[in-house]
Structure 1
Amino acid sequence: MHQLDTSLRRVAAQDPDDLARNLTGWEQVYDQITCGAFAGALDELHLPGVQVFRERINQAVHQVCRVRPGALWFGLPLELDESRINGRKAASASVMARPGGSAFELVTPRDHDIFGVVVSRELCEEGAQRNGCEEVLGAIEGAEILRVDPAARTACLRTLASLLGEGGDHAGASIEEAQHCVVDALLLMLGASSIEASTLRSEQRRRAIVAKARDYLVEHRDRAVTIPELCEHACVSRRTLQYCFEDVLGISPVVYLRRLRLNAIRRTLLEDGARGIGRVAAEWGIDNFSQFSSDYKKLFGKSPSAYLRSASRGPDR
């Protein structure tokens, strides 16, 4: 019988997108938004119908994520980790949830530490039938944040940690036993939840304003876009733009737009460094190379050329 230890994988990464690419079955883009060298770690158990992982990141990151269709994702940040999902802050004793096949956004803080679970809908439905709680799955459709009983959440976290080899008694479990164990722990936790399902109209408006500003910057990436220009495009005041960015992303529009540009340059250089740093920077509206180099080093902990050299050597494993 196939045992769990052969399905466990542990990865360390010094680049945001390298960490994002290592999560099996996900489409993700990570933009670093706090300054300093990046360090991330991933422990993953990938089974036919269940994926359990623990992700740790030292810097704050803006993430655009999509999990495979036909599955459900649940995220359990550890204590004091005030992550945002689609602009909404996940409080303690809560669980984030999204269906597969549709993109969602996370803003994760410094020293981010989260357990994640991806479960096929089929397994969830079988488990709900087995446990006589079919109404639980119907209730979470469309939810982003679930407030759950703290004790049930702690028990679920203990189960997930055990499956990832952090103590516990699941080391000798079979794949079928492990999958049942995960589904049962999730359903027990979700059965004691208070669901914040529908996003308020004001929250939707703030998210739309942020998305409009970000799209405008990308469309006009060959020049420096000003805040007054963004306000005019989004038809809002400077104060409203500031409030929307701080509420949805946790940082000001000036800082976010600067870091969005730097992350895009980093990503392009890693994909095609032969194009040259100066050329790629110019394509993103950078006209002061000295300031750009200083800002890049401040954000990522290395100059553009040093970052390229370290990336070409590959991450430590």
Structure 2
Amino acid sequence: MTGAGSATVAYAVEDTYGTLPGTPTWIQPGIDITVSDLSVDQALERSRHPDDPTPAGSREGNWEGAHGISWTLTDANFHDLVFADSGTDLPNSPMRAPSATWYLATELPDGTTEARTPTGAVVQDASINYQQGDDVTVELTILYGDEPDDVTAPADGDIQQPSEADAYSWHGASFSVDGLAQPLMQSATLSLSGLARFRRGQDRHPYDAVVDAIEPSFSTDAVFTERDQLALAVDDVDTNAYEEVGKVPGEFALENGQGDTITYTLSDLQPTSYEWSDLVAPDADLSEPIDYHVSDVSATEVTA
């Protein structure tokens, strides 16, 4: 960004990989947006002659772009980029990964606009983050297959832009594990990794993208109030000397000031790591950071 208020960030969901609908719907993903990087890798390979220590040149490899983006959560529109099954569920069978075209532009001091338009953009990793005292945030790691210069720029009035009043904050969040509420949650992150991968053929650019081997996880850090999570982590269930880590349901629910709600239903939580933190600390409460493996996640949005 060259100055405050000089950037435009929007995306439109593609009909098929790399192809926008005739009249695309451009969406600003949220507020307080940060684009951490926007990079292209040409994967050049050096060429050499046996009688010359300097390279003769370089040949192109697979083309791939990437960018990271985060924002304050204002709505569930981004679910269309993350949940391949109708924007509400993770897929339970092979399918094409959802893709989008992004419009990322900056206005220069001389009044001109320079834009970049990643197309065939798929979300590889996503996280929804809660921190006590802060707004809820979303982070996406995005890979994309092309960056053409013929994408028609959306007019300002054509971009759906959320309101500051739509923001989801920490005081609208609730958590439950195995039906038990967690009222003193300090931080929590729902992570979805391995959401998409490219398929390639006889072209430098990807042919398309499909869902990958998805790994959902849930990390929490709450003030210790009861031993239910401790029991889940350390109490073995023995069947003929076979030890099992129990599976329990969970829920991560959010509500904004407008009364809109987003609920993430988590299936088969299993603690892969558990600890006590600040057992002896004069100015801190005993807390229990936990990392859970999750088998499935579904999302529900209800607008007021």
What is the TM-score normalised by the length of structure 1?
A: 0.22
Q: Whose strand fraction is larger, Structure 1's or Structure 2's?
A: 2
What TM-score, normalized by structure 2, do the two folds share? Answer: 0.22
Higher helix share: 1
Structure number with greater Rg is 2
